[in-house]
Amino acid sequence: MSDKKKERLLAELMRGDVLPEKEARVKAFLRKKGVDAARLAEYEDLWKTLGEVDVPEPSEAMHIRFRETLEEAKKQTWRAESPVPAGKKTFFGLAGAPQWAFAASLVVLGWFIGFQLTPRPERGQIQDLNARVNDLKTAVLLTKLESVSAPERMKAIQYAEDAAWDDPVRDALVQTLNHDSNPNVRLAAMDALARRVDRPGVRDALLGSIEHQDSPLLQLALADVMVALDEKRAAEPFRKIIADPEVYFSIRRKLEEAVAKLL
């Protein structure tokens, strides 16, 4: 029992876990157990020498390997979070009970509005009905983009593929691209915008978002988009990122390649 106590107290003394006011008492106990001042000094010296064992610096290759693994994991997560698998695509690209309930309510609402507009569905009335349904879809999209759940926001972005493309939708996606807390959601917003790059304001919005991105995943994805669009104005914001000393080596190298292609 007392040997165990001796071992415990010595281990605590080595690490400095013994309170200063108790140290003298602990040392007196250890002396009684055969650990005299010279032996204690020997332990302390050993403990100190242990702290002087040097370790070389790990190589840059280890850091690059980690960053590449992280980037790959992020891509896999993004793919996994892509909300609706091709085989399960449903009405408006949505799946699940709440979405079905919403879809059903749209049908009922459409029928009700249609009923109000009968007896003869004239061309203008049908267009009006379509516009109302589109407004409703846009409103739902914008609401879902405000959701606290990242998967819900991802679904909203996919929903944008089917929604009528207008300025509020574009602005909501740009806002998401620039400010969403989740990089996978930002990446999805970038993809959605990149598919509508022919629409007014989208190209400039993508260009402007480069300076907002601190995630290497987004920086590289935007570099790919800018190169595909041959958007030479992107060279400047990418140069600013490259000049940042904290940018990872592998990211810097890829951005430099993108800038070289743009010029």
Partner 1 sequence: MSPDDALMTEVRNGDLDKLAALYEKYHRPLFAYFFKMTSNAPASEDLVHVVFCKVLKYREHFRAGDGTFAVWLFRIAHNAGIDHFHKEKPFHNAENVEDLDLESDADPVGDLERKEKAARMRRALNGLTDVQRETLILSRYQGLTYEEIAKVMKCREGTIKARVFRAMETLRGLYGALEKSS
Which residues in this chain contact partner 1 in the complex, by CB under 8 A? 4, 6-8, 10-12, 14-15, 17, 42-43, 46-47, 49-56, 58-59, 61-63, 65-67, 69-70, 73-74, 77, 81, 150, 181-184, 215-217
Report in angstroms how near the CB of residue 162 gets to partner 1 at its nearest. 25
Task: Output 2 or 118, the one with its CB closest to partner 1.
Answer: 2
Distance of CA 152 to CAs 69, 106, 249, Å? Answer: 26, 20, 34
Neighbours of 221 (CB within 10 A): 20
Task: Output 47 or 112, the one with its CB closest to partner 1.
Answer: 47
Task: Output 17 or 198, the one with its CB closest to partner 1.
Answer: 17
Report in angstroms how near the CB of residue 33 gets to partner 1 at its nearest. 11
Report in angstroms how near the CB of residue 5 gets to partner 1 at its nearest. 10
Task: Output 53 or 243, the one with its CB closest to partner 1.
Answer: 53
Report in angstroms how near the CB of residue 61 gets to partner 1 at its nearest. 7
Report in angstroms how near the CB of residue 84 gets to partner 1 at its nearest. 18
Query: 88 is written with which tokens?
Result: 């399960």
Task: Output 163 or 185, the one with its CB closest to partner 1.
Answer: 185
Report in angstroms how near the CB of residue 72 gets to partner 1 at its nearest. 9
Q: Residue by residue, what is the 3-state secondary structure of the chain?
A: CHHHHHHHHHHHHHHCCCCHHHHHHHHHHHHHCCCCHHHHHHHHHHHHHHCCCCCCCCCHHHHHHHHHHHHHHHHHHHHHHCCCCHHHCCHHHCCCHHHHHHHHHHHHHHHHHHHHHCCCCCHHHHHHHHHHHHHHHHHHHHHHHCCCCHHHHHHHHHHHCCCCCCHHHHHHHHHHHHHCCCHHHHHHHHHHHHCCCCCCCHHHHHHHHHHHCCCHHHHHHHHHHHHHHCCHHHHHHHHHHHHCCCCCHHHHHHHHHHHHHHC
Task: Output 196 or 212, the one with its CB closest to partner 1.
Answer: 212
